[in-house]
Amino acid sequence: MKILILGAGKMGSFFADVLSFDHECAVYEIDPRRMRFLYNTQRFTTLDEIDQFRPDLVINAVTLKYTIEVFQQVIPHLHQDCIISDISSVKTGFKEFYESTGMHYVSTHPMFGPTFANLGALSNENAIVISEGDYLGRVFFLDLYRRLGLNVHEYTFDEHDEAMAYSLSVPFVSTFVFSAVMKHQDAPGTTFKRHLGIARGVLSEDDTLLREILFNPRTKHHVEQIRAELKELIQIIDDRSEEKLDAYLTKIRKNIR
């Protein structure tokens, strides 16, 4: 299969690495310096090269802010039977866009990401394949992710965004709050350093991704839950009640079992 990957960032390079030995792969990237370490993969910097390549599958791995824009630039250079796909962690508006193109499409979310995961050991990581879209495209990604050892789940677009509203917004907003009150420590403890490492990783993400997670219509409910828990904690602190604290710790320990 001829596979074109859009973007030579961490995820684009990752897909080039894992696919290039079984498929004829090319990467389209406007900054040629980002492609200097790609192996066994063609490097494209112009749309004319895409015309000549005639890919069977396109994997859009650019940052969320530019995903649809880059699709719009590339689609006129694809044949009608080509399958287009994205790996974005937020899918707001994607289903409508895909259906407006008239192209075959598949949408997935490899949830291991490049920020924290060990890309060489993915057996504890997850991936989502959207159950809507092209059948052959879904089969391709289901097979790929399972061969990588990922735990694979199938969701609709709506189910995906509902799940992401919780699994992304809660840790991201908690990280925002930690970062907002953080002060420099000359001798930080282990727990503080771990939280700081997480905060730096989260805040290194693309601002568009952070904005889409925060502005997801489903996020507000989860942030309100965080606020309610903080209010309860403040009351326990004010009361200095060991009984209430014991009950609270029992509750939250059950949540993380």
Per-residue model confidence as pLDDT tens digits over 39-62: 999 999 999 999 999 999 999 999
How far, in Å, CA of 145 to CA of 154, rounded? 12
Amino acid, res. 176: F
Percent of the chain with pLDDT over 70: 97
Segment among 103-112, 155-164, 168-177, 201-210 with least mean pLDDT: 201-210
Going by the DSSP 8-state scheme, the letter that residue 77 receives in this structure is G
Cβ-based neighbour number of residue 247 at 10 Å: 11
Sheet of 126-130: strands edge to edge? 42-44, 24-28, 2-6, 57-60, 83-86, 104-110, 126-130, 151-155
How far, in Å, CA of 110 to CA of 87, rounded? 7
What mean pLDDT comes out for the span 185-201? Answer: 90
User: Would you state the pLDDT for residue 184?
Assistant: 85
User: Would you state the pLDDT for residue 119?
Assistant: 60
Task: List the one residue out of 134, 129, 161, 133 whose CA is nearest residue 144.
Answer: 129
Yes or no: say if 117 and 143 are a contact pair by the CB < 8 Å rule.
no
For 207-227, write each residue's pLDDT tens digit: 877 888 888 888 899 999 999
- Cite the DSSP H helix spans in the chain: 10-19, 47-53, 67-74, 94-101, 135-147, 157-167, 169-181, 190-203, 207-215, 219-239, 242-255
- Answer whether residue 69 shows pLDDT above 70: yes
Whole-structure pTM value: 0.81
pLDDT-derived band at 116 (thresholds 50, 70, 90) equals low
pLDDT-derived band at 120 (thresholds 50, 70, 90) equals low
What mean pLDDT comes out for the span 84-100? Answer: 94
Rounded-to-10 torsion of CA 70, 76, 81, 82:
-30
